[in-house]
Structure 1
């Protein structure tokens, strides 16, 4: 059963990593904007999640989160700030750079979580957290400069959007804890995607698109991003938590940026030399260091997991 959980996490992480590659392919082949693709992704994925949950758990269970005023407000905040924030900034980072660097920079989210917790609780980070900070800084330096102080290997826009994605991922991870504990992950995430997608549709309506570009390939890419890259890995990751601990799941989910780097380098020919690959490894190690089992119950409760 434990091996089953490990396989589920790895499959989810690989699928999430491939979803970023799918988005990069979409931007390179079709005249579109990150806002349009995100609104389509969120509305389709959120709608399918809610539909599936209603069929499996019942309509009452799916809509019960809307019965409490305080939770309605929290769900709206999470949908419009957390879910929309992390999805939109991630796709902007891909559009301005590439899927590999966007995914890696997103994985700096746990570093911002540790920084927030340390300030909020007015305590200095421990040795493990300081080691993670050092690895993160080294990773960013190597990835963005290739080891040379006088050059940049990625655009400033791509770097800024990547860092904003990490900040959004930190909020996305920290904010919905009470909601998920009360109502479950699937309805909370499903509704938040619908909320975020609806809000973004005001600026980027899904129906406003140059449909002369439409083709079987375009439809396949969209289906891949929504189903293979969003819905399936989300359900696999949640199901895996029945068999493995959250800490182990977080470590194994580091396969997501690794997938983006390997696929992007080998098949999309994203330029990445040995120094940048070393920087990528540092960022992946940052997540692993922060999610290693701790003897302190307080730290164990704070262990972050950034997914999808």
Structure 2
């Protein structure tokens, strides 16, 4: 059982910080690994999404059945949870995964991951509408920085043209919106049935929905041993491992600290994009990235 804030010891805090940082690093690396699969092996974004959702979902479900069997059996019997589980699977898993991969495919791993950080603006909008209030001063500054940062990334500083493909920018914004939904929609079910259980079933449903569209057994790409290694990482380390570590860290450090520590994700995605794919970012790109990351610390 997760410790409350008053019960969090310094040792647990250090462990939580390490887990959260490592989860963000793995997810950032996963973005660049996905880009390598799409660029070097011509793997479809939908194929990657389908395979890694089924693979990670199976691991989540096995962990749930072994570690929390009562919760696993309970959610299967709770038919009232089925509609919400389906909505979570379609919006918080399928749409997040597909939009993120298409954003990476059309742009690059660093840019797509930074655009994903705009999810906080959608969460802020939801909170303000529900609370019938306007954004505070810090929040307003964060919104302004995020807007300017996004414009800089999209235009390269030249407002008369788009530097990014418009479809890549749109997929990035769709990813941000669906990622925001992921932080809101599953909370009640996770509180009742547990993280492994809810996410395992949601991942499996999402992968199954994609099966008739993708038909991964027919459209499987030609992968050498290096490609198989990349695909294995994106399922085990980059999806299951990253998500498990990050959520386990959140339970120890709290959501506010986790949001700050989560900036390791776009930083790692940018660094790995430069190191592994030869991506070149201009000073305008980096300024836009910095503005969006500062927004993360202001909007909380």
Summarize the Cα distance change of 1:30–1:267 in structure 2 as closer, same or farther, 3 Å threshold. Answer: closer
SS at match of 2:196: helix
Deviation at 1:150, TM superposition (A): 2.2
Q: 2:215 aligns with which of 205, 208, 214?
A: 205
Q: Structure 1 CA distance, aligned partners of 2:19 and 2:68?
A: 22
Equivalences for 1:263-274 in 2 at 5 Å?
Answer: 263-274=272-283
Assess if the C-alpha contact under 8 Å between 2:63 and 2:196 holds in 1: no
Assess if the C-alpha contact under 8 Å between 2:71 and 2:194 holds in 1: no
Q: Structure 2 CA distance, aligned partners of 1:173 and 1:48?
A: 21
The answer to whether structure 1 residue 192 and structure 2 residue 202 are counterparts is yes
Q: Structure 2 CA distance, aligned partners of 1:185 and 1:83?
A: 14
Tell me which residue corresponds to 2:87: 77
Tell me which residue corresponds to 1:169: 179
Q: Structure 1 CA distance, aligned partners of 2:164 and 2:273?
A: 15
Q: What is the TM-score when the length of structure 1 is the normalising length?
A: 0.90
Unaligned 5+ runs, structure 1: 292-308
Tell me which residue corresponds to 1:107: 117
Q: Structure 2 CA distance, aligned partners of 1:13 and 1:192?
A: 21
SS at match of 1:169: helix
Q: How many residues align?
A: 289
The answer to whether structure 1 residue 220 and structure 2 residue 196 are counterparts is no
Tell me which residue corresponds to 1:299: none
Tell me which residue corresponds to 2:106: 96
Deviation at 1:108, TM superposition (A): 0.3
Summarize the Cα distance change of 1:10–1:48 in structure 2 as closer, same or farther, 3 Å threshold. Answer: same
Equivalences for 1:2-151 in 2 at 5 Å?
Answer: 2-58=13-69, 60-151=70-161
Deviation at 1:263, TM superposition (A): 1.5
Deviation at 1:265, TM superposition (A): 2.2
SS at match of 2:214: coil
Q: Structure 1 CA distance, aligned partners of 2:67 and 2:134?
A: 45
Unaligned 5+ runs, structure 2: 1-10
Structure with higher RCO (Cα < 8 A, 6+ apart)? 2
Kindly report the root-mean-square deviation, in angstroms, between the aligned alpha carbons of the 2 structures.
Answer: 1.4
Assess if the C-alpha contact under 8 Å between 1:32 and 1:209 holds in 2: no
Tell me which residue corresponds to 1:295: none
Q: Structure 1 CA distance, aligned partners of 2:107 and 2:251?
A: 36
SS at match of 2:88: helix
SS at match of 1:154: coil
Q: Structure 1 CA distance, aligned partners of 2:254 and 2:62?
A: 28
The answer to whether structure 1 residue 231 and structure 2 residue 255 are counterparts is no
Q: Structure 2 CA distance, aligned partners of 1:269 and 1:169?
A: 28
Structure 1 runs, 4 residues or longer, greater than 3 Å off: none
Equivalences for 1:147-162 in 2 at 5 Å?
Answer: 147-162=157-172
Deviation at 1:69, TM superposition (A): 2.3
